[in-house]
Structure 1
Amino acid sequence: MLKPFSLSAIKEPYRIFFPFGILYLLWGTLLWLPQIWNAGTYPVLAHRYLMLNGFTATFIAGFLMTAVPKFSQTQTAHFKEVFLFFTITVLGLICAFLDYEKISYAASALQAGIILFFLSRRVMKRKVNPPYSFVFIFVGLLLWIISALMGILTQSEAFKNLHYEGSIAAIILGVGSRLVPGILGHVEIVQSQRAHYETDKPFLLTVPFYFYAMIFFFVMSYFLIGPIGIAIRAFIVVFVGLFFWKLYQLPKEKTTLSWSIWMSCWLILASFLLKVFWQDGVIHASHAFFFSGIVQLTLLIATRVLQSHGPKDKKLENLKILYVVTILIIFAGVTRVSAFIMPENYLRHLGYSSIILSIAVLLWAQRYLRYIKDL
């Protein structure tokens, strides 16, 4: 018979996936640590898998498998759904370390497929519509599956970019367009969105036409090689940041969490604009997005999840430790992006960046992961 915590962990899978996500993040980060003393070959495939399919995918699964049943007022997660995702993730990780790239791509596709199937079942049985911006999440998951499958069949750079950046960016835009304005205190945006989707209309009919157009051009931008595609992509991200997240205004909710998220979101916009003006450094600019858009924003959103599902104490969102974590992640990102300046010490810079990022993650985990368990 399952203990109470085990039951709550299955019903709210973030309780399982967030701790494992932190372990994957630390593991993937510290793979670079030996480069400080002995620069040599580096485990690219294992690093990518740990960061995208370990940390990022696990946090996405934890958040969506917890939030969507609540948004749609449908059934919570089943044990088999949680177990299947966890198992596929571990099997893919083993294959990544064995350098079986095609099998790791297959595992990646299965991860996204499990999440997509989970969401689709809940949305089809929903009592109320989810936020219309969540259509971007479904698009992101489809892009994730398609790009992973194409990674098995081809070495196309377009599909690689779609897999490692585009699919995740789409999910962030979808989740962020509902959560970010709410956390920043822009209740008028949240109310306007709710007026659109809290109706008896089918979910897809609640999505404004211009939102579909924005999604179309975002996807197409990854197949327009060169400056045009990069510029279109940056324009869409900036548009979402300014008009959906209202970043041009200071947060109305004056907490450490809201200020940190506001800074993180501006850095996401900056990372996409950086590619427009620095096309020779696309790989470095992509890491700027990873640090600010994925690691930093993920930990901050997770802070809200842990607080609201755990002790329900808003003071936890106003702790100064969040500023320390934010500054350290930004510093780690700058260290990584600037590594190209000294090519002879490039790999050592990756090691230095990994130390800084690991400290930030450990500080956050030590303060907030304790609320995973029911109080």
Structure 2
Amino acid sequence: MKACISRWASEPFRVFFPLGMLAAIAGVMMWPLLYTGKLGFYPGEAHSRVMIEGFMGAFVIGFLGTAFPRLTGNASWSCGELVWMILLWATTVASALNGQVLVADTVFATLLLLLSSGMIGRWACGNRDTPPPGFVMALAGILGGALAAGLLAWNQKYPLGFTSYQFAKLWLNQGFLLLPLMGIAPYLLPRFFGMESGHSFHDSPTPPPGWWPRFTASVICALLIAAGFALEAFGWSLVGHVLRATVILAWFASETPVFRRGKLSCTPGNVARFAVVALILGTAAAGLWPLARVGSLHLFFAAGLGLAVLAVATRVVLGHGGRHDLLVGRIVWLRIAAGLLVLAAATRMTSDFVPAVRVSHHIYAAWIWAAGGSVWLIFVSRYLGRGEEEPS
């Protein structure tokens, strides 16, 4: 058991990826429970917290907890860090599922501060290698997410001004997830297509030549995303959405090969392509159709961020499970899972444009998304306990 916990501490994705998907399934099923009279409260805020802090949060924690110590040449998590992370995450999810949003936000802010302090501490104290320049965006997303969650918890007792509240909500619901994804994408996505990354440098305790321009571009990109949130919070919704959609498009087009022909064709790469398109279209649609904003943003969340999570997590699990052979070519079960997530997003989006089917499409979308998540979890679970050195 001790060896198993040590392995989880060095590769926390093995714990957090399946937990995150289970949280997501529980989160979407809150809507069928509501409409069948089995949930005693309206789950609007609670549902979003389960999906953001529980589902997406688990994948951010699992990925960065595994990758960041390796990329900086420092020690992996201790068993104590792992236990604290699991306890804080589980408390966050349990609180959100019970409608205790204040508790969920407070605990989640604490969790993100612990995660970010571990990243900063390893980089500052160990400093054996410089992380990829885009990872500054991941750190900004996490620190901003901690501040936003704390402010939203504070708002439960001491109401913030409208603009501050909107900005905090936008950062937690979108910035916390979008910025880490944009930060790791230039380093990770080229590998999906058998191409070299412009954000990958030789080991160096100090920033190597070419690192600072990429770092500067990453900071500017993060600031533009933040500016988009600020514009929306101040009432310039369309301008804010268009700015963010443009920045997302420009960043992925210039820093990753998702819009170019790769050397390899594989299912995770194609899923990542669909994810980026959904991020752009969902963001733009939310600005163009403000009366259907929530439904349009589900294209951003359920299809965009959801597909990105599936693509990256699949590569991480199969790579660490010694099944690099499966990463080239077709992965049928990943195609099925991704297709179901896209269908769920389209179904949920339709409900805002056709009010007569709102309730039924909420229910259908929840069941479809849960089915897609279940397919992914069932098939990927066989590789979660397998190491790179173990025979397939």
Using the size of structure 2 for normalisation, the TM-score is 0.88
CA displacement at 1:371 relative to structure 2: 0.9
Secondary structure at 2:128 match in 1? coil
Counterpart for residue 344 of structure 2: 332
For 1:114 and 1:7, locate their aligned partners in 2 and report how far apart those are by CA, in whole Å.
Answer: 19
Secondary structure at 1:194 match in 2? coil
Q: 1:371 aligns with which of 337, 359, 383?
A: 383
CA displacement at 1:37 relative to structure 2: 4.5
For 1:234 and 1:8, locate their aligned partners in 2 and report how far apart those are by CA, in whole Å.
Answer: 39
Q: 2:309 aligns with which of 279, 284, 298?
A: 298
Q: Deviations over 1:2-23 (max 9, x none)?
A: 4432321122111111121121
Counterpart for residue 359 of structure 2: 347
Map 1:1-375 → 2, pairs under 5 A: 2-35=1-34, 37=36, 42-124=42-124, 125-151=126-152, 152-153=154-155, 154=160, 156-187=165-196, 190=197, 192-195=198-201, 198-202=203-207, 205=212, 207-225=214-232, 226=236, 227-315=238-326, 318-374=330-386, 375=390
For 1:98 and 1:328, locate their aligned partners in 2 and report how far apart those are by CA, in whole Å.
Answer: 27
Answer with 329-338 or 316-325: which moved more: 316-325
Q: 1:233 to 1:313 in 2, by over 3 A?
A: closer
For 2:217 and 2:15, locate their aligned partners in 1 and report how far apart those are by CA, in whole Å.
Answer: 37
CA displacement at 1:206 relative to structure 2: 6.2
In 2, are the aligned partners of 1:287 and 1:333 still within 8 Å (CA)? yes
Q: 1:366 to 1:230 in 2, by over 3 A?
A: same
Structure with higher RCO (Cα < 8 A, 6+ apart): 1
CA displacement at 1:199 relative to structure 2: 4.5
For 2:133 and 2:171, locate their aligned partners in 1 and report how far apart those are by CA, in whole Å.
Answer: 22
- Structure 2, gaps ≥5 residues long: none
Using the size of structure 1 for normalisation, the TM-score is 0.91
For 2:76 and 2:205, locate their aligned partners in 1 and report how far apart those are by CA, in whole Å.
Answer: 22
For 2:216 and 2:5, locate their aligned partners in 1 and report how far apart those are by CA, in whole Å.
Answer: 43
Q: 1:39 to 1:273 in 2, by over 3 A?
A: farther
Q: 1:266 to 1:117 in 2, by over 3 A?
A: same
Q: Deviations over 1:160-200 (max 9, x none)?
A: 1111112211111112222112212332xx0x3235x7555
Secondary structure at 1:105 match in 2? helix
For 2:337 and 2:72, locate their aligned partners in 1 and report how far apart those are by CA, in whole Å.
Answer: 33
Task: Name the Cα RMSD after superposition.
Answer: 2.2
The alignment-based identity, stated in percent, is 20
CA displacement at 1:39 relative to structure 2: 10
Give the letter for the 2:99 counterpart: D
For 2:359 and 2:213, locate their aligned partners in 1 and report how far apart those are by CA, in whole Å.
Answer: 48
In 1, are the aligned partners of 2:134 and 2:184 still within 8 Å (CA)? yes
In 2, are the aligned partners of 1:45 and 1:97 still within 8 Å (CA)? no
In 1, are the aligned partners of 2:30 and 2:43 still within 8 Å (CA)? yes
Q: Deviations over 1:244-300 (max 9, x none)?
A: 123331333111222222222222222222234223322222211111222221112
Q: Deviations over 1:308-357 (max 9, x none)?
A: 11123322553222211111111111001111133243132111001111
In 2, are the aligned partners of 1:35 and 1:350 still within 8 Å (CA)? no
In 2, are the aligned partners of 1:35 and 1:351 still within 8 Å (CA)? no
In 2, are the aligned partners of 1:306 and 1:372 still within 8 Å (CA)? yes
Aligned residues: 370
Secondary structure at 1:99 match in 2? coil
Secondary structure at 2:231 match in 1? coil
- Structure 1, gaps ≥5 residues long: none
